[in-house]
Structures are given as structure tokens and as C-alpha cells.
Structure 1
Amino acid sequence: MSSNAGAPDATHRSVIRRADDAVFTIEQGLVALMLVVMTVIVFLDVIYRQLIAPESEISQWLSEIVADASTRAAIAPWLGGVLGVAILYAGVAASEKSRGAPILAVKGSALIVALLIAAVVAGIGVLMVTTSSQLVYLVLVVLGLSLFASGQLRARAPGWQVRLGIAAAIATPLIALVASSAFPTAYTWSKEIAMTVTLWVGFFGASLCVHEGKHIRLEALEKSHPEKAKHLVAGVSNLIAALFSLFLAYLGYLYVFAPGTGAFFIGGNLDLSGMPMWIRTAAIPILFVVSGLRFLGAAVSAVLGGNYGAPAKAEGMDDAEKLAAEADALTADQAPESASTEAKPAKKPIAFFVVLGLVVLLPLLGKGGVLAAVILAGVLLAEPLFVVLGAMTVVAFLLWGGRTEASQFSILIERIVSIADNEALLAIPFFILSGAIMARGQISARLIGFARALVGWLPGGMAISAVIACMIFAAISGSSPATVVAIGGMMAPALIKQGYKPSFAHGLVTSAGSLGILIPPSIPMIVYAIVNTQASIRVEELFAAGFGPGIVIGGILMGYSLFRGVVDKTPRDTFSVAQLVSATRDGIWSLMFPGLILGGIYAGIFNAIESACISVVYAVIVEVYIHRALKLEELPKIFGETAIMLGSFLVILVVAMSFVEFLEDQSIPATAGEWIRSMDLDRVTFLLVLNLALLVVGCLMDIMSAIFVCVPLIAPMAAALGIDPLHLGIVFIVNLEIGYLTPPVGLNLFVASTLFNKPLTYLIRAVLPFIAMMCVGLLIITYYPPISADLGRWIAGAPPAPQAPAPVETGEVGEEEDEEEAAPMGFVPQCQPPEDLNCDGNVTIDEMTRYGEILAEQEAAEEAPTPRCEPPEDLNCDGNVTMEEMTRYSETLGEQEEAEETP
């Protein structure tokens, strides 16, 4: 419960506050509906295009086994049906065993339920093959509404009539839209619509973040605020955030609704769905107005001593406190004198006034001082990160870009439009959602049981099983703090009970929980691929590049666990084949999750975006219908939390990309690259300095903030030295992974301190040996790139990156010219940067000139692309058609037509 529970607005809820809560509830419902729509339309697209369409991978596999098309068409449904029923039967049987009762009170319940599910799925499949998409969506809408209505009627929970009415009010126009001829046919438009919905969900989430106090903030100096002025400082912070939100809303209005020049008046439709393009950006003025008003309310509440919009607890902290309270309740009979009741003396706010003085004095130093003062002011006031980055962008464009009118800052909105064309963004809400669903279920206990049965007989077997469970759970949930709570809450007491030292047990589970951001699927990896505009990075390759480093660091922790087991002579479990089989059966659905997602990606069945959507469907089926750990009525709340998480960093991503635009406008990345070259650093030295710098950054920033701020600055420098962008991404992730364990912002430390009821200093000492071991793993990963980049490309089936040769040190006149002449015209070596034609690490004026001539010759020689892929607009044959590919394809066709018409 918040410390401000006794504040005025907590005891007396005004009309405005009640209205805001009502709006919040409606927003949550809309967000849940949008996420359901996103999941359904993308899932159906995946099913149709990858499983049913003739050009799909599965169809091609079958054609290699059975050459005759008619025979293949006859046996394929039966093979798929038998396999599907077998999998469903195994799952339902496992579910019934874990529940201790059959789902249906009849003999053969598991088989009957499996056949019923298979019949429904087969019926939808038949509709997809034989009828239009309109009928399929209409059936799904009616079916979903019927299930919801029947659930409400059975439960008869308070307010069920209102919920039914709202559902009917939403469903009626939706059914009319689907049934009308205006609804787009087929399924190819799904990702286009889903990207639009993602923007709306993200900006709804940004608004919900204000209500819940969950915007990512710079909190390094928050504890230094003078006690008597805390409410005033919080009020000023929220007021600034409100003004910036309303400024973004005004920019959005100019971009969308300005008479004559706005997107609404210009017109234009999306290519596949026919949706008006202005709908994508309409969320900006609408929802930033709501965010601004909520920030204003939070400012007023803070000044009056209230808690509306106050920063929420860190991720995982609520669950940690709940488990800690339960543990305290079990030991309530112990002497209470262990808890000190002495009030700690208040700290003097020296840091606050020192930084405040810097904010006042730095502008006297010129433009750089003004920008530094803006950043320090944001840190001092604990502003949301998107406000700090946005203020940096605006001030930078004012001082160096010469932009003085509001309309000149449309770059902040244009970045949103460009992000909407990056389909990698679509994977983020899906993976967040599936991870949240799986984390609420029973997978932690099942994974622990499997890991113990597998390796518990080894020396240190229980500790090794804890690492394995953390690695798998963290990869599934995508959350390091959640892993510490879910796995550590059960394993740490068990380790101590079996004879392990408490400091070892607590340090192990706190450290192993951070492995989730390295083992795919990983949301930070997706964000890194989006933010690093210096290189074109496929998310699938970055995922694959995380396997080797994850195994290296996980192996080091397991090796140390085995060592402690031998030295401390801790008891071992007895190996039992029957127990291993039973544990595998109980945990099979959890273990299949990473196999399904990653196996599907690297087998070519679907890409990272499609796998993310599959993961949501899989998570719902497993936790709701197989594990029976969740109820359908719990899903909307989880969907709302997903929107909050998405919104918290989508707005950061937008302003961060705008700041990147400023950097490129001022040629700062190119200048940084030249500076690195002029320093004559080799890769070894640069990577060492980079590791030290990122370890410091990890101490001061959370991982998302560090990626947004640091990647645009460091990526050009690494490119100047020819460092593989995949390798750089993994080095980034590993460094920031260690940041979860380092004070003052190491989130795992705070969660573990609360969970285990131990002082923070105790946890810091406990994780020190593990930090040292992870740093050893970092050095191995940093200086042996094949573990990450080469292995990742091999797994992903991508060609290896060309290795840039070491710079020539002879210095003889004419040698460089001879090497440059060796590069044939029309051929561009794959070096970083590409202008470095001889891959010697230096770009000369002559190389830049020749590179421009090569590109010009290639563009002049290009003809209309041969449609080798389906659809032909998919120029790189990766299964996804981006807006850029469609534009390029149309332009090339137009040029070809003009050339043919010209006599």
C-alpha cells in the first residue's frame, strides 16, 4: 500500500478523479480488445500463408516427401489431423492429471476434449480454405462474443449486466464492419492493420502509465530531494511532463488535422487494407491530450499531498513483497526484536543542491552548457525519460538546428510514422503479452521439477537446476525481476535447506535471473535492432546470436554451482528415470514454448513477428485450458498491463529516434567515426573501453534507457572500426545484463532484498562473486566473436559477415591506391562503413568518390525486379513486405514503364 494512503485524494475521491477512473477502465477495455484483434488477425495470416498456402515451407516439405500433388492433398489433412489430435490429447491428459480430475465426467474425457478442440480448429481451417476472410472473421467475432456472454451469465459477478452491455455495444459495429463489403478480404493486410493498432495501444499505454505511475523515470537523485519540498518537486516534475505532453499533442494536431496541410486533408490510404493513413497518427493528438491532463492532475495532487500518478513500485516488487509477507506470517512466532524500530536520521539533501547549482550555472558556458543543464534538471526532478529525451531534442534543434517555430518540430511526429513501418516493433507487444500470461501460470514450479529431475543427481545438482530453471523461465517471461521472484522464491529456501550457504543461494538466483534478456526471445534485442539505425539488423539473427553467449554465462554459473556442491558436500537427489519422465510430462508444455517459437523461426516456418503472435495463442491455450492456472476473465487485466509496458517505452523510442535524427542532421555519428579513426584505436582497446563504459552505464540506467541513449552514439564508432553490428549488439546486452546486479539501480538487488528480507548491502556482497564470473564470460564473448555473431548467422541460415582485414602498416606510397584499384567497379565489398572499399578500416576521399560512382552505375543498370518471391513486392524474400519495399517496387516498375514508352 502506498505511503500516501492517508492523503486527501485517497480518502475523498472527487468527481474528476472518479471520471478519470472511468476513462481508465474504458481505456483498459479498448486496449484488451485491440490486442485480441491484433493477435487474431496476425495469427490467421500466419496460419493461412505459412501452413495452407502452396508456397509455404510446410507445403514445400511435403512436396519433397510426396511428389504427386493430388496424393499430397489427400493425405496431408489426415497426417496433420492425427498429429494435432495426438498433441492435444497429451496436453489434455497432462492437464487432467495435474488437476486430479477429468474435465468431463465421462470415460475417455481427454480424448473427447481433444477431438472437440480439433473439430473447432478444423472447422475454422475449412472456412479459411473454402470461403472469404469476411466469413471467417464474422464467425470468430460471434464465437468470441458468445463465449464471453456465457461466461458472464455463469459467473453472475457484480456488474455483469453492464459488462454484457458494453460488449454488445462494441461488438455490434464490429460485426457490421466485418459483414460489410468495406471490410478488406484475404489476410495479407493483417500486419498493416496490426501496426496501426500497435501505435494506438502504445499511446493508450502511455496514457495509462500516467494513471498508474509507471512511466520509466530517471530516479538517480530522487532520494536526495529535501523532505519538506518533495511534494513541490513532484508537482513541478509532473507540470513539466504535462506541458511537454500537450506540446506533442499540438504537434500531432498540426500533423494530422491542420487545415489544408494535415494528413486528414491530404488523404491517402494504406496499400493493403485501404485504411486512411491519417488514422495511424490520430492517436497522437488525442491520447497525448489525455496524458497531459493526467500529468496536470498528478501535479495538483502532488502539491496538495496526494498520491495520484505517484511513481509505482518497480517491476516484480509487488510480488516480492507479497511472498515476503507470507514468509513473515509463517515465522510470526519468532521474537520481533530483530526488526529495528529506530527512525533513521534524515539525510541532508547535499546532492540535490549541488546539482541544482549546476543547473543554474551551466548555461553560462554556452550551448553545450544549456543542453547539459536540461539533462541534469530532468535527472534532478526525476522526470519521465521520454520528457528528458524530448527536451534534449527540442533544445538541440533550437540551439544548433535553428528551428524556432512549433511546426518545425514535426520530426517528433514523423518518427512515429517511420516507426509504424518497422514491423520489428510488432513483435514487442506480442512477446510482452505471452510472457505476462506464462509468468502468471504454473510454469515456474514445473520447470523447477524438470530441472531437478534432470541434473539433481550431480554434485551441486539443485543449484544447477536453479540456473537451468532461471534460464528457461527468464526466456519465456522476458522479465529478469519476475524470474527472481518466481524461481528464487521457491529455490533459495530449498537450497538453504539442503545445506547451501544462504549468501550463495541468494546470490545465485538473483544473478541467474538476469539471463533472460540474453536468451531469446528477448525484448531488449528487438529494441536494439530498431534503435541501431547504423546497420540493418534482422531480429532473427540477433536472437540466434544470443544462444552462444547465454550458454557461456549460464555454463559458468552452473560450473561454479558444481564446484560449490563438491566443496561443500551438499546432498544430491537420487536419479530416477521414472521421475524424469514424470517431470518431463508435467513440464512438457513449458519446455515446448522456446522450442516452438525458436524452432519455427529457424526452420523457416515463420519469422520473429509471426512467432511472437504464435506465442500469445500458445500461452493462452496452455495456461487457460491445459494448466488451468488462469481464467479467461483474468486476461483483460493482463492485456492492460501489457499496454502499460508497451506505452512506457514506445514514447521513449519515438523521442529517442528524433534525437538520432538531430545527431545525423549535425553529422555527429560521422564525426564520431572519424574521431575514433584519428585516435588509431584497435578493436581490442575500443571494446575494452566500451565494456568499462557500459558497465558504468548499467550501474546508472535501466537496460531500455541505456539502449535508447547509448546505441545511437556508440554504433557509428564501432562501425568505423569494422566491428560486426551483431557482435556489438550482444556485447551491449551482456554488459547491461550485469547492470541488473550493480547498485544504485540494479533492479534485481532491490527485488531480491525485499523477497528474502535481507539488507541491500548483504545482497550486494552475495552477488559479487557472480558478477566477477559474468565479467569473465563477458570478456570471452567480447574477444571471441564467433560465439555470438558467427554462430548466430549459422543458426539463422544467413551468410557469414565478411571480415575486414587488418590495416596495412607499411605506409609505402602507392600501396593504398593499388589495393583500391583491385576492387572492381560495380562490386561493393560488405565492409563497415560500405564506403571502405578495400576494408582497411580507413575511408579516403577517393574511396568515397568511387563508391558514389558505383552506386550510380548500379542504379542506372537496375531493371524491374523479377518476381522471384510471393508476393513480388517482397524484394528480399524474407516473408514480410515493408512499406519501403512496396515503394521501391512501385518506383522501379514506373521507371521501367517510362523507359519502354520513351522512343
Structure 2
Amino acid sequence: MVLLPTLEAAVRRLTGSGVPGAAVYTQHLTLWVGFLGAMLATSSGHHLALSTVDFLREGWPRELARSFGSAVTTLICAVLAYASFDMVLLDKGRVDTLAGGVPEWWFEVVMPIGFAVMSVRGAMKAPTRRSRIFCFVIIAAVLPFVVSRALAVKGAGFLTMPDGPTLLHGHTARFGAPAGLLLFASFLLGAPVFVVMAGFALLLFYLAATPVASVPAETFRLVVSPTLPAIPLLTVAGYVLAEGGASRRLVRAAQGWFGWMPGGLAVMAAFVCALFTTFTGASGVTILALGGIILPALISEKYPEGFSLGLVTAAGSLGLLFPPSLPVILYGVVAGVAIDHLYIGGLVPGLLMVVLVAAYGVWMGIRNKTPRQRFEAREALRALWVAKWDLGLPLLIIVAVASGFATIVESAALGAAYAIVAEIVLHRDVHPTRDLPRVLVHASTLVGSVVILLGVALGMTSYLVDAEIPTRLLTWVQAHIHSQWEFLLALNVLLLVLGSVLEIYSAIVVLAPLVAPLGAAFGVEPVHLGVVFLANLELGFLFPPMGLNLFLSASRFQKPLPLLYRKALPFLVIMAVGVLLITYVPAITTGVVSLLKPAR
């Protein structure tokens, strides 16, 4: 996947035409990478899910909750495996081929295999012997339908699944409401988010007498998205840098350049955390990776412990608007907005958020008379030189996209190749055989959890569109909200609340398809809407009582949550000011896009 887009960009520049089929093969390979990663995520328990089951009392309450979650996971994945198998058999009879005559259905095969493996793994992870037996009984109940569907190709099918209205004699609501409540309960008890969303999609299609193969068909439709491969490529780049010594080099460089300022160490923390989050795409990784370095340094320099805790907690989410941040790509894919425009539009708003937090750090430095180190040009230049390869990654992607040299996928491939070469060959922090495979497995696990979630979310979105839910929602909103400013204010409140309880990838795939058409109806520029959307989710990480960064900091630093609520509050207010400026001064976003809009 790294090689094909890189070759495509190079060959196109040299010859004027690219490698035949390179983009299409890269898109289809992303499906394989995504499903292989999803299987790994199921095995390791890394799918996105609420962790509420851990709050239950040890013993039978926790076992019962986990057994219920395992049963739901097993059932939904087994039905998805059947539906995917049905889709593959239907597509096998077509003549769709890729460059070189490769049948497209060859790539689809990974879907029924992947869902089947996830179903079995879900059964095996059930906490008790009795619950495991029950889960395997569920698989055994679905298996005859799969066998019958395979035999039906030769006219020997013996079992068909009636549609919902026929089976239920038209009483779909009586079945749908309890089934929906059970799915929601499984979500609250820790079932993976993708399982719950897929369950709702399957349920809605089934009750509407629509083939359940519509859900995997929408998942496969992901491969036609030209920007989807950027997700695994940039994830690899971020994980490789995080595995190496990038954090140490970035901290040293920031200390060298900002240490002389009042509050210089706090400024350094804000900028380094923002930069590190752009690589990883996750504020949690930044808190866990850099918190142990930055927090002791801040306290040793006489910054109050509460301020230091709040700064590290808040700064973890500051880089989500900068390239090569993964949430930006995901929003672009889901909402249909040009990712390169989103990256350019997010530069000034992202910098504004960092500067506001850094300015508070300067004020605290002056107030507490924190020591300032003398600026030494030699050390600053040496530290910058040591970190040059780490700082070069976002610069490479920005220049490649803004200049029109490469597409976003090609830029992501260049970034992944760049990170691998930098860490293995130049810095030698990552061993090619001992470390790199492990890093790639970790990266693919994240990619799998995101791609599978995005795929089933498209299935649910497809039903919502068929049922005209967005149209009805738009009609209701237009009847009750009468101006663009009222809409943006309501959006701020909605995203702040939901951003505090939903994981960012879940929030994007669930909310973006609904918010994007509403924004268009009220005349909000798509890039501006995307930046406002992501900035609000960034703020939601700090919103009590459920903000993700608050939980992560409490866990990482062994501090009580109420303490984190208080210490993060000033940063919540400061970042809220930034979000309001980004929301109600569109020129902060759109002005930069109009100046630097990349060539098409």
C-alpha cells in the first residue's frame, strides 16, 4: 500500500501518466488491511466500546454483562458473515474486473471470512463456559443458512430467510422496539460500537423487507472512496514515529526554543503535545506517551501541580486539526469534503487553539515566577537539527498536497515511507525485524477498528437516507431554527455534549452524515463546518463528567476525577473561547483556504 501510491506520484511526474490501476488496487487493499485489523482488534479487545462494564461489581453482575455482550457480538457478526457471503455470491456472477483482469469479488472474500472470524472470537471471549456454549449455539443456528445459500447457486438450496414483515405478520414495531432496546443495552454494557451500529442497520433493513446484504454492500462501497487509503497510511506513519524517539526529540527542541520565555516550558508542552497528536490522531496516546515526561518537568520548574495536570490533559487534543491528523481524513470521507481543503482550513484555527493555551501558560509562568533558562542558540539549533526528520513529516504532507504534487493518498504514502525510513535508517530507533512488525500490527488494529466502524455506519446511513430521515430532520430544524447563527450555536452545544460521551471516530461516523446536509441548508461553507465540527469534538474531550481526556489523565497520573474536573476547567473555558471564534468568524478558516487552495 505504501509502494503503489508512491510509485503513482513519481511515475505521473516523470511520464505524465500514472501506474495503471494503482489507485484502484490501493483502495481495494485497504479493505483487506481494514478487515485483517478488525480481526486483530476483536482478538485483542481493542474495538471502540464503552468501558462501563468495569464499573460493575466483580462476580456475577460483571460476568452476566460480558456474556450478554459476547452473545450480541457473536450473533451480529455471524449474520454479517452470512450477508457478506450472499453479497460475494451475487457479485461473483458479474464481470467486474480490475486492471489486469483480476475479478473484484476476490477482494470481497475477506468480508465473510473476517466477520466469521470475529463471530468465533466473540464466542471464545465469553467469560464462562456456559456463555461460550450459548454463543457457539448461535453460530450453529446461522450456519445452515450459509450452507443453503452456497447450495442455492446450483439450485439445491433448502433454507431461506423470510423478510421481517412476512415473518412477523406485519407486527414489526412489536419486535423492533424490544430488539432495539436490547442493542442499546448491549452498547451500555460494553459491546463494540461497530457491533451495535451494525445490529441497528441489520434490524432496520430486515424490518423494512430489504436484504440484509445491503449492510456489507455499503461497507464494500468504501473502496470507491479515493481518500480512504490515507487512513491506514497515516496511521502507520504516526505509530512508527511514536514508537521511535520522536517524543524525546520534540521535547528537547521545544525546550531549546521556548525555554527562555516566561512560561516557556508550558508553551513547549502545548506545542509538543499538539504536534505529537497530529502524528497519532489520538489525544489519549499523547497523554500516555508524553505525560510522564512533561508533567514532572512542569512541576520541577515550580508550576502548580493542578495547572500542570490541566495543561497536559488539555494539550493532548490540540493537534487534531493539523495534518496528518486521522480524524480530519475520516470527516472528509464521511461528509464528502475535500481533505486537502480541510487540512488547509484547519491550520489557523488549530494554531489559534494552541496559542490560546500557550498564552495561559505564559501568564502562569509570569505569575509564579518560574525559572527561565538562558537561550543558547547552539543548543536550540542542535536540538532542532536532531528533530528535523520528525518535524519534516507534517511539512512534507502540507507541501505535497498544497503544491498539487501529490493527492492526499499519495502524500500519506510518502509520509508513511518517510517515517519508516527516518526511524529505521536515520534515527535507528525502530528495528526493522524486531520492532516494525509489532508497530504495524498495532497500527492495523486501530485501522481495523476505524474501517469496520465506518463501513457499518455507512450501512446505517444508507437506511436513514432511504427512510428520508435527514430530509425530515432538515424540515424540523428549518421550522425551529431560523438563522445560520442559531444553527451554529445549537451545533456547538450538541457537539460539546456528544463529544464528551462519544469516542471521536464514533462521533464522526454517526453525526457527520446528519450535520453536513443541515450545514449546507443554512449556507455554512463545508470546510468551515468541518473545522467547527472537529474543534467542538476537541473541546468535548475536556467536558465533564465523561470527557475522554479527563479519564485518561486520571488513570495515567492516578488522580481522582473530581480533581481533574476542577484543574481542567480553566483550559475548557480558554478553548471554548477559541471554538466560538472559529465558529462565528468564518474567515479564520475560509480565508486561508481561498489563499492556499490546492490545484485540482
Tell me the TM-score normalized by structure 2: 0.89
**Aligned in 2, Cα 1:601/1:301: closer, same or farther, shift over 3 Å?**
farther
Whichever residue aligns with residue 195 of structure 1, its letter is Q
Question: Does structure 2 retain, via aligned residues, the 8 Å contact 1:673–1:717?
Answer: yes
Q: Match for residue 139 of structure 2? A: none
Q: Match for residue 428 of structure 2? A: 628
Q: Partner of 2:103: helix, strand, or coil?
A: coil
Matched, 1:268 2:96: yes
Whichever residue aligns with residue 294 of structure 1, its letter is R
Among 758, 767, 771, the residue aligned to 2:559: 758
**Aligned in 2, Cα 1:724/1:368: closer, same or farther, shift over 3 Å?**
farther
Q: Match for residue 396 of structure 1? A: 204
Q: How does 1:819-834 map to 2 (within 5 A)?
A: none
**Aligned in 2, Cα 1:211/1:365: closer, same or farther, shift over 3 Å?**
closer
Matched, 1:567 2:347: no
Whichever residue aligns with residue 472 of structure 2, its letter is T
**Aligned in 2, Cα 1:380/1:465: closer, same or farther, shift over 3 Å?**
closer
Question: Does structure 2 retain, via aligned residues, the 8 Å contact 1:415–1:658?
Answer: yes
Q: Match for residue 246 of structure 1? A: 78
Q: How does 1:595-606 map to 2 (within 5 A)?
A: 595-606=395-406
Matched, 1:422 2:225: yes
Q: Match for residue 66 of structure 2? A: 234
**Aligned in 2, Cα 1:637/1:493: closer, same or farther, shift over 3 Å?**
same
Q: Please list the CA deviations of residues 783-812 of structure 1 after superposition, one character each: whole Å capped at 9, or x if unmatched.
A: 0111123323432247xxxxxxxxxxxxxx
Q: Partner of 2:316: helix, strand, or coil?
A: helix
Quote the offset at 1:187 in angstroms. Answer: 2.4
**Aligned in 2, Cα 1:775/1:442: closer, same or farther, shift over 3 Å?**
same
Quote the offset at 1:553 in angstroms. Answer: 0.6
**Aligned in 2, Cα 1:415/1:365: closer, same or farther, shift over 3 Å?**
closer
Whichever residue aligns with residue 662 of structure 1, its letter is Y
Q: Please list the CA deviations of residues 154-181 of structure 1 after superposition, one character each: whole Å capped at 9, or x if unmatched.
A: xxxxxxxxxxxxxxxxxxxxxxxxxxxx
Matched, 1:555 2:355: yes
Q: Match for residue 345 of structure 2? A: 545
Question: Does structure 2 retain, via aligned residues, the 8 Å contact 1:232–1:303?
Answer: no
Q: Match for residue 211 of structure 1? A: 43
Q: Which runs of 5+ in 2 are unaligned?
A: 136-170
Instruction: Identify which of structures 1 and 2 has the higher relative contact order when contacts are C-alpha pairs closer than 8 Å and 6+ apart.
Output: 2
- Calculate percent identity across the aligned residue pairs: 33
Quote the offset at 1:717 in angstroms. Answer: 2.0
Matched, 1:747 2:548: yes
Quote the offset at 1:744 in angstroms. Answer: 4.5
Tell me the TM-score normalized by structure 1: 0.60
Q: Match for residue 448 of structure 2? A: 647
Q: Distance in 2 between matches of 1:640 and 1:631?
A: 14
Q: Please list the CA deviations of residues 125-184 of structure 1 after superposition, one character each: whole Å capped at 9, or x if unmatched.
A: xxxxxxxxxxxxxxxxxxxxxxxxxxxxxxxxxxxxxxxxxxxxxxxxxxxxxxxxxxxx
Among 277, 281, 284, the residue aligned to 1:481: 284
Quote the offset at 1:763 in angstroms. Answer: 2.0
**Aligned in 2, Cα 1:682/1:224: closer, same or farther, shift over 3 Å?**
farther
Among 670, 684, 688, the residue aligned to 2:485: 684
Q: Distance in 1 between matches of 2:481 and 2:48?
A: 38
Among 437, 444, 451, the residue aligned to 2:254: 451
Aligned residues: 563
For the aligned residue pairs, the C-alpha RMSD in angstroms reads 2.3
Q: Distance in 2 between matches of 1:282 and 1:776?
A: 49
Quote the offset at 1:430 in angstroms. Answer: 0.3
Q: Match for residue 344 of structure 1? A: none
Question: Does structure 2 retain, via aligned residues, the 8 Å contact 1:220–1:700?
Answer: no
Q: Distance in 2 between matches of 1:283 and 1:364?
A: 33
Question: Does structure 2 retain, via aligned residues, the 8 Å contact 1:459–1:572?
Answer: yes
Kindly report structure 1 stretches of 4+ aligned residues shifted beyond 4 Å.
224-227, 300-306, 363-372
Q: Please list the CA deviations of residues 247-292 of structure 1 after superposition, one character each: whole Å capped at 9, or x if unmatched.
A: 11111111113xxxx222333312x343211112111111211111
Whichever residue aligns with residue 208 of structure 1, its letter is L
Q: Which runs of 5+ in 1 are unaligned?
A: 1-37, 56-185, 309-362, 799-877, 879-903
Among 105, 112, 130, the residue aligned to 1:278: 105
Whichever residue aligns with residue 265 of structure 1, its letter is G
Question: Does structure 1 retain, via aligned residues, the 8 Å contact 2:63–2:127?
Answer: no
Matched, 1:49 2:12: yes
Q: Partner of 1:574: helix, strand, or coil?
A: coil
Quote the offset at 1:740 in angstroms. Answer: 2.1
Matched, 1:618 2:418: yes
Matched, 1:200 2:32: yes
Q: Distance in 1 between matches of 2:85 and 2:49?
A: 26
Q: Distance in 2 between matches of 1:649 and 1:570?
A: 43
Q: Partner of 2:228: helix, strand, or coil?
A: helix
Q: Match for residue 767 of structure 1? A: 568
Quote the offset at 1:486 in angstroms. Answer: 2.8
**Aligned in 2, Cα 1:658/1:273: closer, same or farther, shift over 3 Å?**
same
Whichever residue aligns with residue 9 of structure 2, its letter is V
Question: Does structure 1 retain, via aligned residues, the 8 Å contact 2:5–2:413?
Answer: yes
Q: Match for residue 167 of structure 2? A: none
Q: Distance in 2 between matches of 1:514 and 1:289?
A: 36
Whichever residue aligns with residue 93 of structure 2, its letter is F
Question: Does structure 2 retain, via aligned residues, the 8 Å contact 1:375–1:388?
Answer: yes
Q: Distance in 1 between matches of 2:511 and 2:53?
A: 20
Quote the offset at 1:370 in angstroms. Answer: 4.6
Q: Distance in 1 between matches of 2:173 and 2:524?
A: 36
Quote the offset at 1:487 in angstroms. Answer: 2.6
Q: Partner of 1:409: helix, strand, or coil?
A: coil
Quote the offset at 1:371 in angstroms. Answer: 6.9
Mean CA deviation greater in 745-754 or 536-545: 745-754
Quote the offset at 1:682 in angstroms. Answer: 1.0
**Aligned in 2, Cα 1:626/1:696: closer, same or farther, shift over 3 Å?**
same
Q: Match for residue 408 of structure 2? A: 608
